[in-house]
Chains A and B, each alone.
Chain A
Amino acid sequence: MSILVYAESWEGKFRKNTLEAISYAKKTSSLFQTDVKAVTCGIIDNNELERLGEFGANKVVSYPNIIKSDGKAVASILQQEVEESQLIIFSNTFNAKIIASRISSKLKAGLVTNVISYITNSSDICVKKQSFSSKAIETVRLKSKIGILSLSPNAFEIKNDSVDVVIEVKDQKIDSEIIILGKDINKGKISLSEAEIVVSAGRGLKAPENWGMVEELAEILGAATACSKPVSDIGWRPHSEHVGQTGKAIAPNLYIAIGISGAIQHLAGVNSSKVMVVINTDPEAPFFKAADYGIIGDAFEVVPKLIEEFKNLKDN
């Protein structure tokens, strides 16, 4: 019956969150005593397709002529590939949310997004998810025959678990009702929702020209950059960096907050981070109650010192 994974690709490559989904499916497949089938859309070369076998995919079905941004087309492809599958796994990207909800409707299959736990019982499927903007963890039971899970990024381990993989390429085409006029990709930047380390700054930095040190720190750590809401509202930083209850919810291993007070709406989007560090001049700032490590001090003095120390660490 297979566990079906939608293996999303970016410019012909799989990213970390796709591999997380494959690993999740592999681990779950032993509970269900079945194998793992991945479906991909867009042009992806054979080596990359085979790579999914290293993480446990027994079969990969590739549709090079289906554009992944056409959610309707991808959903109908998945519908035809679902066969006897009882579970469909996605990683929780913008794209996946379009496809997962459409396929949920087509198959009358219960959908749980932002999933953060494995399934423990194959005959009564329950999983945990983030809800109330990370202020709560909700356990949801699936009442339908088929279940769809969309996994929170960074919540699951990627595990090498090589199996023999069969690749099948299908040249089916579906006409798209959407005309793409243009794409503006942040080249070379680390995606905020996937990043393991995030360096974030707030109004405490006082002006947009002071972000140089934030970017430098991020670069040394291989981190993505983020910001508080007011900073993106006034246009110091792009909206796509805004984290919090009304921005992106993230869960990196390390979140460094510089000159951010730690308002409840900000914390709601970042408190799933494994370790949080705050740098703030005000010892009463609420962030100190939420963080694991804190430095009470001026960002303009502390951040350059931190950059030096991280450089030293890297050099040794």
Chain B
Amino acid sequence: MKILVCISSVPDTTSKINFTDNNSKFDTNGIQFVINPYDEFGLTKAVMLKEQLQATVTVITVGDATTEPVIRKALAIGADNAIRVNLKALDSYSTAREIANYIKENPFDLIIAGKESSDYNGGAVPGIISDILEIPFINACNGLSTDGNSAELKREIDGGIETLKINLPIIIGGQKGLVEESELRIPNMRGIMTSRSKPLEVIEPNQTSTLTESVLFEKPVQKGECKIISSDNVRELVNELHNIAKVI
């Protein structure tokens, strides 16, 4: 069984976000990049399936050379090899198309992406890949078991959970529940050592046309001072919310 994990390299969750070039570009200065948290669940799941079913795990990132430390980390966690498409990710469509092109040449049984990247929050890449490859897409997936031919999955739907069965190949948009937080793998010394000699292939993009472009970034407006209300006077809070803020 062949598994592909799509990894987006995103700012660490504690990062303060800034912009340059008249606020038209994300300022990567001083930012620590990590594996997108949703992709981390998918990667750990892939490594577990590898141990269970003798699968091979490939990771793919569309990004420039600065994404390589994150790719090496994925290899250290247990992926067998990595592909980097040498294109600074521009929009969901161009990113998805590059990944889909690679998969057309190199078929996989199971493609694991995350439900959303925590930088541009598009939630679009895996759906576009599924359409190009004409394979089913299971979004917000929080449970997966497979024997290599078909899969049983759980997915979050608005207001509940759905269980379903489907034949491979498929692509999923994964999240917590694929594995639990406590099961997440972190690189150990041996993993780090071996990751250095695992293959990381760099391929050139096919085409770089996009359907959307970022023109401006702004910070959300800062809130005013917090109004502190005494714990002996919660009635005042209720009054404020009812009469001033008018939210209840």
User: Which residues of A are interface residues toward B (Cβ below 8 A)?
Assistant: 10, 69, 71-72, 75, 93-95, 97-102, 104-106, 108-114, 126, 129-144, 177-186, 189, 191, 193-194, 196-197, 221, 233, 239-240, 242, 245-247, 249, 253-254, 264-265, 268, 271-272, 274-278, 288-298, 301-302, 305-306, 309-310, 312-313
Contact = CB atoms under 8 A, between A and B. Distances in A.
B225 to A, nearest CB: 9
B226 A292 contact: yes
Contacts of A69: 157, 162
Contacts of A313: 238, 242, 248
B172 to A, nearest CB: 11
Contacts of B137: 71-72, 98, 101-102
B235 interface: yes
B217 A142 contact: no
B30 interface: no
Contact of B166 (A177, A189, A239, A245): A177
A132 B220 CA distance: 11
B206 interface: no
A295 B211 contact: no
A309 B182 contact: no
B142 A239 contact: yes
B159 A185 contact: yes
30 contacts: A72-B136, A75-B131, A94-B155, A97-B140, A98-B137, A101-B92, A101-B125, A102-B131, A104-B127, A104-B128, A110-B211, A110-B212, A126-B215, A129-B121, A132-B17, A132-B26, A140-B212, A143-B213, A178-B165, A181-B163, A184-B161, A185-B159, A189-B159, A191-B158, A239-B142, A239-B176, A246-B176, A293-B228, A302-B234, A306-B234
A94 B127 contact: no
A310 B248 contact: yes
Interface residues of B, number: 83
B230 A295 contact: yes
B218 interface: yes
B120 to A, nearest CB: 5
B28 interface: no
Nearest to B18: A136
Contact of B228 (A129, A240, A249, A295): A295
A301 B122 CA distance: 42
A177 B127 CA distance: 16
Contacts of B231: 295-298, 301-302, 305
Contacts of B228: 288, 293-296
A112 B182 CA distance: 34
Contact of A183 (B93, B160, B229, B245): B160
DSSP majority for the B interface?
mixed
B247 A288 contact: no
B187 interface: no
A247 B17 CA distance: 19
B202 interface: no
B43 to A, nearest CB: 15
A100 B124 CA distance: 8
DSSP majority for the A interface?
mixed
A179 B164 contact: yes
Given A94-B157, A240-B156, A292-B224, A104 B124 contact: yes
B217 A138 contact: yes
B158 A105 contact: no
B130 interface: yes
B210 interface: yes
Interface in B1-56: 11, 13-14, 16-17, 19, 26, 37-38
Contact of A132 (B119, B142, B237): B119
Nearest to A183: B162
Contacts of B92: 101, 104, 111
A275 B124 contact: no
A93 to B, nearest CB: 5
Given A111-B211, A309-B235, 16 more contacts: A71-B137, A93-B158, A94-B155, A94-B157, A97-B173, A101-B126, A113-B124, A136-B220, A178-B165, A181-B164, A191-B159, A196-B247, A239-B142, A277-B237, A288-B228, A298-B231
